[in-house]
Amino acid sequence: MHNDKENFLSINFKITIVFWFLIIMGFIAIFRIINLQIISYSFYKDKARKMHLSTIKQQIGRGSIFDRNSKILAESIKAQTIYICPRNIEDKRKVLEVLKNNLNLPESYLLKKISSKRYFEYIKRKVDAAVAEKILSYNLPGVYAQVEEKRFYPIGESAAHVIGFTGLDNTGLEGLEFKYEKYLHGKTGRLQIKRDALGRPILIDSVEIKKAERGADLYLTIDSNLQVAAYNELKQTVEKFKANSGTVIIMNPNNGEIYAMTNYPSYDPYNFKNYEKKLIRNKAITDFYEPGSTFKIFTMSAFLREFKNGEQHKIFCGNGEYEYFGRKVHDHEKHGWLTVPEIIKFSSNIGIVNLALKVGQEKLYNEYSRFGFGKETGIDLPGETNGILRHYKNWDNISLTSIPYGQEVAVTSIQLAKAYSIIANGGYDISPHVVDKIVKNNKVIYKSSNKRTIKIIEDEERQKLISMLTAVTENDGSGKKAAISGYRVAGKTGTAQKHNPDGKGYAKGKYVASFIGFLPADKPEVLTLVVIDEPKTIYFGSEVAAPLFKNLSRIAISTLKISSDKTYLVHHNEKIEKNIEMPDLFLKDIKEAKLFFKNEDLNYKIFGNGKKIIAQIPKPGTKLNNQDVVYIVTGDILSNDEIKIYMPDIGGLPIRTVIEILNSIGLKVKCNGSGFAISQHPKPGAVIKKGQLCIIDFAMKDEG
């Protein structure tokens, strides 16, 4: 009985314990529900929202860069970035195998990424779409791709130093990409997106928090055809003479527009990390060198400013050697008495020092400063340096007998190009630039002024300087290999010794060869500078740089359609200029056309084997003068009134003229190379049809 009672009490006690336990748990559950639904509702709601919602940056397009003819130089294209969520990966070995085989990445790198405890890991950014598609085709959990922008540079290495490049985040790091980052980048927006249970982004129903804006577009003064041609020609010269490097600038001296600026060696903007920094910097604006004889014209300018009729003087040039203040100055050739213009023509160091001594160091320094030496030009590219022009108070007697012919002074290529432009354009200061305008949302938000500002030299002095520079390229001048048939070329050679690495004295056998010039001399349209660093075997500017100047100038003449120099033609006993209106010669007999050309004393060239004129350049109504050349294409009229067309013989003509002639008779043209036509298909005289494709090969030719 007693035991039954104890058992009963024991059971009741257990029931009581369970009862109160359930009561307490119920209260806890109720409190928990109240806490979740009322007290901490906002906290947990926000936490849940953050787990399923996130914000991502959005950039809808970096601005493009165009050349002066609206050809693309840099644009953004879509690319895929491969990333992983390590916690979602189910088969690590399979993922490792697929990524390794398709992305060519080290196994150790991939293992580290796959084993990461982070939620998100980039594997490789901006891969080709085909590669990304192949990886995604395996449907591997934890392996994903997202769209990003990748920069595309159609002419690559040839314009790398001007255009620059962007990093992985599409931010500009060099060149115009860096300089104009705030315009090109646009405004970054933000999107609020949802994520699924595995944390993957769901872009459907995304909410725009901050609106993104596409970047502005840059339109440059660069001509992409000239830029590529300049790079290729420079490369050939540097390699031919086994030089360290080379620089070319082609510009409009009247307004500072840069048509081409290139250096060789260059670099691949897609793989810039593989190159040394010295190959990435734009040597045309960052590197300075002693200009040598190209600097003499500015000493001459100081002399003519001081002595208005100074060109009439004669100077004794020591027969190749002369001593000043205990220091001997030498010439490359022995000269006795030279006129002042001949000092420039034959590039006499002794002669120019004699003129400098008459001027004095303060006035020399002031003249050099007027032309912009020792200070930046202000070109719209990053990294420009000042060069070196010490104040005249820091000169000594050696300086006074060195600086006048380009020693103890250092210039950048762009400084020298700007200084010669002042002589070329009428004596006005200009601002070199590569950006013509910036356009955003079809509105021009910036336009270069192209203004000529301060007048540096007067017309009379300028004409004398140009006359001297023109004499340099004559048959007996130091720059005769820069001469171009049909054009008066004004220019100057330079052959400057390089300093020893320690800065003490000059290095034996190490030179900078250069040539700078412009044409047509009396009314210049293009200026070209060539600088070749340490050419081997031959190092004279007249032998190394002048021929390259000639090739580049001829290409520029063709590309920019620069007319023949009328002053040159008259000087060489050509016809006197007069205006003639071009008649409509379509289907006229060739004999009738020849009679017209003979009566009007016009130059003409006939293409084809026919008896009737089927095309003419220029068009009817065009005003002509005796220096213009008229191109006539002939054919025959068949019995059914159809026109029989013969393939013209266009050998020796420049690209633009070839294209004009063949297009005038309805033919398509494919051009290979640059310069002048050397071969063609179909052959001359072949019967052809409108719309037929003609393949023309071009190359530079030597005029002797």
- What are the b/e assignments for 53-79, b being 16+ CB within 10 Å? eeeeebbebbbbbbbbeeeebbbbeeb
Phi, psi of 23 (to 5 degrees): -60, -45
- How many Cα atoms are found within 13 Å in the side-chain-facing hemisphere of 48? 7
Name the residue among 477, 505, 508 with its Cα closest to residue 341.
Answer: 477
| Cα-to-chain-centroid distance, residue 461 | 34
CA distances from 192 to 56, 202, 208 (A): 7, 10, 6
Query: Is 301 labeled as catalytic in the residue annotation?
Result: no
What's the one-letter identity of residue 249?
I
Q: Is the dihedral of CA 271, 273, 279, 285 positive or negative?
A: positive
Cα separation of 459 and 462, whole Å? 5
Name the residue among 551, 563, 553, 561 with its Cα closest to residue 699.
Answer: 551
Cα separation of 121 and 566, whole Å? 68
Cα separation of 298 and 3, whole Å? 129
DSSP string of 439-490?
EETTEEEEE-------B-S-HHHHHHHHHHHHHHTSTTSTTGGG-BTTB--E
Cα separation of 694 and 485, whole Å? 28
Q: At what angle do helices 107-114 and 92-103 cross, to 10 degrees?
A: 140
Q: Please list, in sequence order, all residues whose beta carbon lies within 8 angstroms of the beta carbon of residue 305, skipping any fewer than 6 positions away.
A: 363, 367, 457, 461
The alpha-helical segments, DSSP class H, found in 473-540 are: none
- What token pair was written down for 702? 């030597």
Answer whether 440's CB lies under 8 Å from 217's CB.
yes
Phi, psi of 214 (to 5 degrees): -65, 150
Phi, psi of 3 (to 5 degrees): -65, -35
- What residue has token string 């250092």? 410
- How many Cα atoms are found within 13 Å in the side-chain-facing hemisphere of 471? 16
Neighbour tally for 274: CB within 10 Å:
9
> Which candidate in 64, 293, 448, 558 is catalytic?
293
Q: Please list, in sequence order, all residues whose beta carbon lies within 8 angstroms of the beta carbon of residue 110, skipping any fewer than 6 positions away.
A: 96, 99, 100, 123
Name the residue among 389, 417, 408 with its Cα closest to residue 260.
Answer: 417
Which residues are catalytic, by number? 293
